[in-house]
Amino acid sequence: MLGNFTYCNPTKLYFGEGAIKNLGGELAKYGKNVVLVYGGGSIKKNGIYDAVTAVLKERGKDVAEIAGVMPNPTLAKLYEGMEIARAHGADLILAVGGGSVCDYAKALAVSVHCEEDPWQKYYVRFEEPSCKIVPVACVLTMVGTGSEMNAGSVITNRETKQKIGHVFASEEVMPRFSVLDPTYTFTLPHYQMVAGIYDIFNHICEQYFSGEDDNTSDYIAEGLMRSVIRSGIDANKDPRDYEARSNLMWTATWALNTLIACGKATDWMVHMLGQAVGGVTDATHGMTLAAVSLAYYRHILPYGLKKFVRFAVNVWGVDPAGRTDEETAREGLAAMERWMKELGLVMNISELGVKESMLEELADVTLVMNGGYKALGREEIVEIFRESL
Ligand code: NZQ
Ligand code: ZN
C-alpha cells in the first residue's frame, strides 16, 4: 500500500428489515423543519411514503415536500427545490429514494445557503461549499450508487446536455444517517435492479483497475466483486431473495463509500463515458455503464495486463494454466460478459438511443480522467463509443 490517505466516514447506518424503527430517534436530533425529498411516486405505491410520514408526524415535524425528483436529477429541479427549502428554513433534508433522490438532496444541502449559482460553483468550477450545509439523511429504496454513504452528487444540465458529478470533500455533505432496509428494494422493476447491480460492480472496477502496488484495497475489492456476482445471479433468479438483496445493499454501500479507494489512484473512465451517454440520452445510469464497459476494458487491457490477469483469476476463477497472460485476461472479461448477459443488462449504446452520428457530440462531453492504466485521447474515446454501438 503505497499511497497516503485520510479516511473518515461519519454516516451512521441502520441496516436490515424493519430498520425504519430507528428513524424517529434520529429525527429527534434535528430541528422542526424537515424537507422531504422523493421521486416520481414509487414510494407512494409501495407504502414507504406512509411509513416515513407517520414517523415525521409522530415527532411533530413541520414538513415541506419536494416531489418528482427524476432519475438523473436536473439543474432546473435543483433551482425549484432551493426555493422550497429556503422558504421552509430547512433544518434537515430527508431523501427517500434511490441515488437520484439522495444525490439531489446533497446538491440541495450545499445550495440552500449558497449565494452563487450552484451549477457554476460546484459542477463547473468544482469548488467546495463556503456556506452553511443543511444536514442530509436518507431512507434508501434503490441499491447501486452508494450515495447513502458518500459525498457524491451527480446533476444533469439539460440545456448543455452535461451530466456532472461532484464528490464533495466535506464530510458534512455525507448523509448524517441512512436507513437501509433490503425489503424496500423488493418493488424495484427488474431493469432498475440489474442496472443497480452493474453499477455496484463497476464502482468496484473503477477503483480496482489502477496501480501496480500490493494494496489491501484491491483484496477488499475482489471480495466485494465476488459477493456482487453471486448475489446478482441469485437476485436475478428470485428478486425476493432477502439474503441476496441484503448482500447487494451492503456491497453497494462499501463499493463507494471511499474505503476501497484508500491508498489508490482510481480510474472512473467508464463512468465518464457512461455519464456522457446519460447526459445526451437520459438513459438509466447502470445501463450506460454496462453498454460501454467491455469496449473500454478490452481497449485498456494491454496497459494493465497484470491486473486484468489477477481479475480473471481471483474474481472470475479463470484457470491460467496453459494460457498466456493475455488469454487469461481476455477470458476474465469473457466471463464478465457472460454474467452481464445472464443478468439481462443493456450491452450496447444503440439500445440506449445513441446513433453513429452522435459519437463526436458524446466525445465533446466526455471528461478524461488519468488515474487508470491509460489516459484516453479523443480518437480513442470515439473509437470506444463506436465499438459500443
Ligand atoms: O422516481 P421513483 O418513482 O421513486 O422511481 C425510481 C426511478 O424511476 C425507481 N425506484 C427507486 N426505488 C424504487 C423504485 N421503484 C420501485 N420500487 C422502489 N423501491 O427507480 C428508478 C431509478 O431510481 P434512481 O434513484 O434514478 O436510481 P439510482 O439509484 O441508480 O440513481 C441514479 C443516479 O445516481 C447517480 C447517477 O448518475 C444517477 O444520476 N450516481 C450517484 C453516485 C454517487 N452519489 O456517488 C455515483 C454513481 O456512479 C452515479 O453516478
Ligand atoms: Zn455509478
User: How does pLDDT run along the chain (389 residues), one tens digit per residue?
Assistant: 888 999 999 999 999 999 999 999 999 999 999 999 999 999 999 999 999 999 999 999 999 999 999 999 999 999 999 999 999 999 999 999 999 999 999 999 999 999 999 999 999 999 999 999 999 999 999 999 999 999 999 999 999 989 999 999 999 999 999 999 999 999 999 999 999 999 999 999 999 999 999 999 999 999 999 999 999 999 999 999 999 999 999 999 999 999 999 999 999 999 999 999 999 999 999 999 999 999 999 999 999 999 999 999 999 999 999 999 999 999 999 999 999 999 999 999 999 999 999 999 999 999 999 999 999 999 999 999 999 99
Mark the residues whose beta carbon lies below 5 A from ion ligand 2.
199
Give a yes or no: residue 6 inside a domain.
no
Contact call for residues 168 and 151 (beta carbons, < 8 A): yes
Task: Report the alpha-carbon distance of residue 292 to residue 65 in Å, rounded.
Answer: 37
Residue 273 inside a domain? The answer is yes
Beta strands in 254-317 (DSSP E): none
Tell me, in angstroms, the distance from the centre of ligand 2 to residue 31's CA. 33
Q: Mark whether 200 and 280 lie in a shared domain.
A: yes
- Residue 158 structural domain: 12-184
Task: Give which of 80, 92, 83, 85 is closest to 55, Cα–Cα.
Answer: 92
Domain assignment present for residue 5? The answer is no
Statement to judge: residues 180 and 51 lie in one domain:
yes
Nearest CA to ligand 1 atom 45: 152
Pick the closest to residue 291 from 316, 270, 268, 266 (CA basis): 270
Distance 99 CA to ligand 1 centre (A): 4
Residues 156 and 205 in one domain: no
The pLDDT value given to residue 212: 94
Q: Per the domain annotation, does 160 fall within a domain?
A: yes
Residue 226 lies in a domain: yes
- Whole-number Å distance, alpha carbon 195 to ligand 1 midpoint, is 10
Of 132, 162, 184, which residue is a domain's last?
184
One domain, residues 22 and 171: yes
Atom of ligand 1 nearest to the CA of 48: 19
Query: What DSSP character marks residue 122?
Result: I
Nearest-CA neighbor of 356 among 311, 317, 388, 312?
388
Ligand 1 nearest atom to the CA of residue 271, by list position: 48
Q: Give the length of the chain.
A: 389
* CA 286 to ligand 2 centroid distance, Å: 6
171 with 217, same domain: the answer is no
Residue that is last in its domain, among 141, 169, 184: 184
Give the residue, by CA position, lying nearest to ligand 1 atom 46.
145
Are residues 62 and 154 located together in one domain of the fold? Answer: yes
Q: How many domains does the chain have?
A: 2
Instruction: State the ligand closest to the CA atom of 146.
Output: 1
Same domain assignment for residues 96 and 17: yes
Contact 236, 198 (CB under 8 A): no
**300 domain residue, yes or no:** yes
Distances (CA, A) of 85 to 82, 93, 275: 5, 8, 28
Considering every ligand atom shown, identify the ligand nearest to the alpha carbon of residue 196 and give its number. Answer: 1
CA distance 331 to 313: 9
Which of 38, 122, 142, 164 to probe ligand 1 with, by most ligand atoms within 8 A of CB?
142
Check which CATH number belongs to the domain holding 114 and give it. 3.40.50.1970
Q: Give the number of other Cβ atoms within 10 Å of residue 57's Cβ.
A: 10
Select from 184, 208, 233 the last residue of a domain.
184
**Residue 63 domain-assigned?**
yes
Q: What would the DSSP string read from start to end of 329-362?
A: HHHHHHHHHHHHHHHT----SGGGT--GGGHHHH
Are 169 and 199 contained in the same domain? no
* Domain identity same for 368 and 245: yes
* Distance in angstroms (rounded) separating the CA atoms of residues 303 and 94: 44
Closest by CA position to 71, among listed 177, 189, 238: 189
In a domain, 81, yes or no: yes
Q: Which of 329, 324, 322, 334 is nearest to 305 (CA)?
A: 329
Same domain, yes or no, for 195 and 333?
A: yes
> Is residue 204 located within the same domain as residue 252?
yes
Which of ligand 1's atoms lies nearest the C-alpha of 163? 37
Query: Which pLDDT value is given to residue 2?
Result: 87
Name every protein residue with a CB atom under 6 angstroms from any ligand 1 atom. 39-43, 46, 71-72, 97-101, 103, 141-142, 144-147, 150, 152-154, 165, 184-185, 187-188, 192, 196, 199, 256, 271, 285-286
Q: Residue 217 sits in a domain of what CATH number?
A: 1.20.1090.10
Using alpha carbons only, give the angle 183, 189, 195 rounded to the nearest 5 degrees. Answer: 95
* 156: helix, strand or coil: strand
Nearest alpha-carbon partner for 96 in 39, 51, 165, 26: 39
Same domain for 29 and 129, yes or no, is: yes
Compute the Cα dihedral for 205, 206, 208, 211 and give only its sign. Answer: positive
SS (H, E, C) 213-239: CCCHHHHHHHHHHHHHHHHHHHHHHCC
